[in-house]
């Protein structure tokens, strides 16, 4: 029944119907609460979203519908409004009839009649999907950060591998250059001297003998070099077997040193020894150990100037024998020391042309390793170098 108002627009019943239409058309959740928080009005779509009929929600306390995690925040918002704050925004999850949670972004506003707060209007926007999308974006952002981190690690690794490959390539081409030079030099002597002998049938016998001896020496040098290369590739392929025989290492050491007396004398180098008398029997590969000591002696002579000194010391320790080869030669810079046992590594000494391949110490280290021994080096540029080997008397 419509009351008789002059201006029908102001008729409360008409106003109420208008408001109902607006409320019913509204997609968002709309609640009108009384001062104590009881629901006095809810729009149809809002109730539907929460899986209720409108009438089932009326007179229920709003807090009963809010998920526990959001109750405190909601109470605070109401408190603020009751204390006079005209408007308050907050987020809260509502339980649906079937117990699911829907997250709403809520705007609460107080409604005053005669300066007294009469009601609170809540408008809630369903932001569950928005939150899911935000979370998904955050997830993706974290994954992106992680992916970028992995990419940068991988890039670093690739760069490292690249520079390692470049280093290896450089070492290999240095090696090829060195080895070609090393092979060509004795070969040139052999060919040169044999041609001279061949082209001069009247050559005096002494000269012929001298040339022949040079050819023999250079031939041996060539053979040594080829053996080095073969040894290294065998060692690398794991194809070297260590023979084990008991032998007197004192005898072996003296024999090796004796073979280097001549080349030391040729450079006016004093080659001395401090080796115990008698016998120290060890179980090892005599041939390989003898080659190893020989290589170290050869280096000592090669890298020691005229009038220098080389000393070989042997010490009989409890389970081991220690062999020290020390020279007063040119020494090894501290920065090169960590690398001298690496394949093809040669100390760069501009202006000096000392031949070599950078393989000798690789062989030495591998043989000592195969005997479960240790090799260490100490050196000072201009003062000399000391290699110390500790070999177990029985490594098996």
CA distance 365 to 341: 7
Residue 9 is given by DSSP the state G
Which pair of structure tokens corresponds to residue 49?
A: 């979203």
Residue 308 is given by DSSP the state -
CB 269 within 8 A of CB 301: yes
Between 358 and 373, CB nearer to ligand ADP: 358
Select from 77, 252, 321, 361 the one that contacts ligand ADP (CB under 6 A).
Answer: 361
* Cα→Cα distances 291→14, 188, 220, 255, Å: 115, 26, 15, 11
Select from 57, 271, 330, 367 the one that contacts ligand ADP (CB under 6 A).
Answer: 330
Give residue number: closest CB to ligand ADP: 356
Q: Beta-strand (E) ranges in the chain?
A: 29-34, 39-42, 87-95, 101-113, 116-126, 245-248, 270-274, 281-284, 309-316, 320-327, 374-380, 384-392
Compute the chain's Rg from CA coordinates.
Answer: 48
Q: Report the nearest approach of ligand ADP to the CB of residue 375 (Å).
A: 12
Q: Report the nearest approach of ligand ADP to the CB of residue 209 (Å).
A: 31
For strand 101-113 and strand 116-126, is the pairing parallel, antiparallel, or unpaired?
Answer: antiparallel
Cβ neighbours for 301, distance < 8 A, ≥ 6 positions apart: 260, 263, 264, 267, 269, 271, 310, 327
Q: Report the nearest approach of ligand ADP to the CB of residue 317 (Å).
A: 23
CA distance 180 to 204: 34
Q: How big is the CA angle at 263 (ends 376 and 219), to the nearest 5 degrees?
A: 100
Which pair of structure tokens corresponds to residue 14?
A: 């008409």
Between 102 and 359, CB nearer to ligand ADP: 359
Between 230 and 281, CB nearer to ligand ADP: 230
Between 12 and 333, CB nearer to ligand ADP: 333
Closest CA to 355 of 298, 313, 308, 294: 298
Closest CA to 245 of 281, 293, 191: 281
With CB under 6 A as the contact rule, which of the stretches 106-114, 137-145, 218-226, 325-333 interacts with ligand ADP?
A: 325-333
At 17, which helix (H) or strand (E)? helix 12-25
CA distance 370 to 343: 17
Q: Report the nearest approach of ligand ADP to the CB of residue 254 (Å).
A: 21
Select from 103, 340, 367, 375 the one that contacts ligand ADP (CB under 6 A).
Answer: 340
The answer to whether residue 357 forms part of the interface with ligand ADP (CB under 6 A) is: yes
Residue 228 is given by DSSP the state H
Select from 249, 347, 375, 391 the one that contacts ligand ADP (CB under 6 A).
Answer: 347
- Cβ burial of 195 (10 Å; 0-12, 13-18, 19+) is exposed
The answer to whether residue 332 forms part of the interface with ligand ADP (CB under 6 A) is: yes
The answer to whether residue 359 forms part of the interface with ligand ADP (CB under 6 A) is: yes
For strand 245-248 and strand 29-34, is the pairing parallel, antiparallel, or unpaired?
Answer: unpaired
Give, as ranges, the residues between 299 and 318 that touch ligand ADP (CB under 6 A): 299-300, 303
Q: Report the nearest approach of ligand ADP to the CB of residue 378 (Å).
A: 11
Q: Report the nearest approach of ligand ADP to the CB of residue 224 (Å).
A: 11
Phi then psi for residue 288, to 5 deg, are -65, -40
Binding pattern to ligand ADP, positions 188-227, x when CB under 6 A?
----------------------------------------
The answer to whether residue 365 forms part of the interface with ligand ADP (CB under 6 A) is: no
Between 319 and 348, CB nearer to ligand ADP: 348
With CB under 6 A as the contact rule, which of the stretches 13-21, 93-101, 148-156, 296-304 interacts with ligand ADP?
A: 296-304
The answer to whether residue 327 forms part of the interface with ligand ADP (CB under 6 A) is: yes
Binding pattern to ligand ADP, positions 240-279, x when CB under 6 A?
----------------------------------------
Between 66 and 332, CB nearer to ligand ADP: 332
Between 214 and 298, CB nearer to ligand ADP: 298
The answer to whether residue 346 forms part of the interface with ligand ADP (CB under 6 A) is: yes
Between 144 and 261, CB nearer to ligand ADP: 261
CB 391 within 8 A of CB 365: no
Select from 253, 385, 390, 391 the one that contacts ligand ADP (CB under 6 A).
Answer: 385
By the criterion CB under 6 A, which residues form the site for ligand ADP?
299-300, 303, 327, 329-332, 340, 345-347, 356-362, 385
């Amino acid at each position: 029944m419509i009351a008789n108002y002059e201006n029908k627009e102001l008729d409360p019943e008409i106003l109420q119907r208008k408001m109902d239409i607006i409320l019913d058309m509204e997609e968002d959740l709309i609640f009108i609460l009384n001062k104590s928080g009881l629901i006095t009005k809810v729009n149809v779509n809002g109730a539907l979203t929460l899986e209720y009929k409108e009438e089932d929600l009326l007179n229920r306390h709003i807090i009963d519908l809010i998920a526990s995690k959001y109750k405190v925040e909601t109470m605070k918002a109401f408190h603020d409004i009751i204390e006079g704050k005209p408007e308050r925004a907050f987020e809260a999850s509502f339980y649906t009839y079937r117990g699911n949670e829907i997250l709403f972004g809520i705007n609460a506003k107080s409604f005053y009649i005669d300066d007294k707060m009469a009601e609170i209007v809540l408008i809630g926007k369903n932001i569950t999907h928005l939150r899911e999308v935000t979370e998904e974006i955050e997830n993706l952002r974290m994954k992106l950060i992680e992916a970028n981190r992995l990419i940068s690690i991988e890039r670093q690794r690739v760069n490292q591998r690249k520079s390692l490959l470049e280093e290896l390539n450089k070492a290999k081409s240095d090696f090829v250059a060195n080895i070609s030079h090393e092979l060509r030099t004795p070969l040139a002597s052999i060919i040169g001297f044999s041609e001279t002998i061949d082209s001069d049938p009247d050559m005096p016998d002494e000269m012929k003998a001298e040339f022949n001896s040079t050819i023999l020496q250079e031939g041996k040098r060539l053979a040594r070099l080829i053996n080095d290369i073969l040894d290294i590739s065998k060692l690398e392929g794991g194809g070297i077997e260590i023979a084990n025989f008991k032998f007197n290492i004192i005898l072996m050491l003296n024999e090796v040193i004796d073979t280097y007396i001549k080349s030391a004398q040729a450079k006016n180098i004093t080659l001395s020894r401090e080796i115990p008398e008698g016998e120290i029997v060890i179980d090892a590969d005599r041939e390989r150990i003898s080659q190893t000591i020989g290589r170290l002696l050869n280096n000592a002579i090669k890298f020691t100037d005229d009038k220098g000194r080389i000393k070989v010391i042997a010490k009989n320790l409890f389970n081991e024998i220690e062999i020290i080869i020390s020279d007063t030669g040119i020494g090894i810079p501290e920065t090169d020391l960590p690398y001298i046992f690496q394949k093809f590594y040669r100390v760069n000494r501009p202006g000096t042309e000392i031949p070599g391949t950078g393989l000798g110490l690789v062989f030495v280290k591998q043989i000592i390793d195969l005997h479960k021994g240790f090799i260490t080096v100490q050196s000072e540029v201009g003062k000399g170098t000391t290699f110390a080997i500790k070999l177990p008397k029985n490594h098996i």
